Chains A and B, each alone.
Chain A
Amino acid sequence: MSTHPYKTLPDYAFWSRSVALPALEDVDPVVAAKFKITPDDRVATGGSCFAQHIGRELAAAGFNYFVTETAHPAFEEAAAGFNYGIFTARYGNIYTARQLLQLFHRAYGLFVPLDAVWHEANGRLKDPFRPEIQPAGFASMIEFQADQRQHFVAVRRAVEEMDVFAFTLGLTETWRDRRDGAIYPLCPGVSGGTYDPARHEFVNLTVDEVTSDLRAAIAFIKERNPKVRIVITVSPVPLVATYEPRSVLESTTYSKSVLRVAAEQVCGAASDVAYFPSYEIITGNHARGAYFGDDLRSVTDEGVSHVMRLFFRHYTDTLPHPQDAARRSSADIDEAAQRHRRKMRKVAALICDEEQLDGR
């Protein structure tokens, strides 16, 4: 009987055995993790909206989701919509590797975009590079500048202290300031700012550009944090719209293909930069589209669970102890501030009660 190289390959190499035949929830395209994440590793996240799931699920499982820009404990209950904790720092969605690289450069004072702030018609101010970070923008220039300084401190701390960085590549289509190349997360005019064709240009990044930007961003982190390990994923969420003169379906295929190839090239043989196939888990034929919601874009909870189940299975050995999870849920200073706030509430009530007694 003849033999050939495929004869000895494991199941994962065969479509029928690893994709077509297993039950949906059993499909597991992760062959080998390049490294393991321990419960104490500080895991930072960034990227497109799909990356939000990673931080949330890590925290829920008790892992050390590293948040360097937290809501002040006094305001935690009111902070929904202000994007604290959605990612490691309050940078909002980072759709492209170039946006990530420029964020690092801005945080370290290496790049100061000409388009520094958007003055809205209602007197509010918006950050061109995180226009949706607050529901209604910033109330004053002093606040805007102070918040940006705090944000950059948080970004620098993330870069220098994280043990693992999970980054999700989202898009290749983006908008750029012609004058200095600053990349916007959203086209000016969509969520603030004013679109000006003389200043703003559409860009659809190529494989070489994404690869180069991603490599530069990783190198930037490693220069400051040599032990960091990186997990790259590609968002399975299709484009909401394309500016290319073609179908959004075609553009989605292009974008995701470019991102997937760039991820492959960057991760390659590096032992500390891994590709995690969340894109394949969600979009693969085995799912028959079941992991997308009714809009055919949103990833369902079942899809997210499948991704994270495999992430935990392959990238972790030890599940966190619940007490450890509770312990690291916030920094000491935040715990003190939380205690303080509770006490202040009590104090305020007590003073009022004393008044009540005085009145009788």
Chain B
Amino acid sequence: MQSRKKRVLLVGTSHAEVLVRTHTALGSACPFQLRPIILNESRYFPWGEWCGDDYIVNPIVTADLTKALKGGTFDHVTMMIGGVSHFELGGVNSPRLFDFVIPERTDLPIVSGAEIIPYDLVRQFFRREEVNILKPLFLAKELAVSLSYMLPPPPVSDAEMIFGHLPDDWVEDARRLGVPDPIFRYKTWLAYASVVGDICAERDIPVLSPPSLTLDRDGFLKQEFSEDTLHGNGTYGEAVLEQIASFINADAVEAA
């Protein structure tokens, strides 16, 4: 008798959509069943927003997630929420040029003439955002048996590539202010990933890093895995689906 395919609930924003598309394209070749809750869908809009100092998650998101998880039909829940805030800092140069130093990576160069922002402040920026954006993840932690958080991919190293994916009204700004050095963009992702890793660790939520085969030796996303300046493409999606499958199997072995 053939064993039942594991059932995975995928909750996410734009980064998750490529997984849905890839899963559909793979069909029965994918080792697990996938049910997506894509928070960018209009029924959830806005799925979360700042109201003054409070970040409010749309109650429909909470209700749908709770309903899905309380049914107990999923073997694993993986989330790909957010993954945008590093782009806010690293998409186009700020008129007040800045950079920062990651203490574990002092080998990474600093943008010449840039104002140096305290690393703790950079982390605080990300923490303030992510500790709120990840609220659905914390809810899932309370309700799910097995849970993981999938980090978004790092940027590509091609500074020119970003131009092709900026909205038209931003191209002029990008030309005027410049697109940040790839290493700066990579640093914003590293800092972001470090903060998200810490937030998850504090809640005992496993974090899956981008698959190593998708990264070049410097840690950038290889161009062949990139959809645009922010998201992975279908090939990246396949690698992530495989990674999730491996994690579920390892998790199941550990649980057994």
Contact = CB atoms under 8 A, between A and B. Distances in A.
A73 B96 contact: yes
B116 A343 contact: no
B87 A348 contact: yes
A333 interface: yes
Contacts, number: 133
A321 interface: no
Nearest to B85: A348
A355 B121 contact: no
A121 to B, nearest CB: 15
B167 interface: yes
B13 interface: yes
Interface string B108-146: 001000011111111011011000000000000000000
Interface string A104-136: 000000000000000000010000000000111
Interface in B46-61: none
B128 A78 contact: yes
The residue in B98, B117, B118 that gathers the most chain A C-beta atoms within 10 A of its C-beta is: B118
Given A345-B88, A347-B170, A348-B84, A139 B119 contact: yes
Given A139-B103, A337-B94, A356 B120 contact: no
A143 B101 contact: yes
A250 interface: no
A72 interface: yes
Interface string B167-198: 10010010001000000000000000000000
A77 B128 contact: yes
Given A78-B124, A134-B120, A352-B84, A140 B103 contact: yes
A272 to B, nearest CB: 34
Contact of B91 (A73, A139, A337, A348): A348
Contacts of A352: 13-14, 40, 84, 230
Nearest to A84: B121
Interface in B12-71: 13-14, 17-18, 20-21, 38, 40-41
B118 A334 contact: no
A347 B91 contact: yes
A99 B190 CA distance: 39
* Dominant secondary structure at the A interface: helix
B121 to A, nearest CB: 5
B115 A150 contact: yes
Contacts of A10: none
Given A78-B124, A350-B167, A353-B40, A142 B115 contact: no
Contacts of A72: 94, 96, 98, 115, 117
A190 B237 CA distance: 52
- 10 nearest interchain CB pairs? A352-B14, A146-B116, A336-B95, A139-B119, A337-B96, A355-B14, A78-B124, A78-B125, A139-B103, A359-B17
Interface of B: 13-14, 17-18, 20-21, 38, 40-41, 84-85, 87-89, 91-92, 94-96, 98, 100-103, 106, 110, 115-122, 124-125, 127-128, 165-167, 170, 173, 177, 227-231
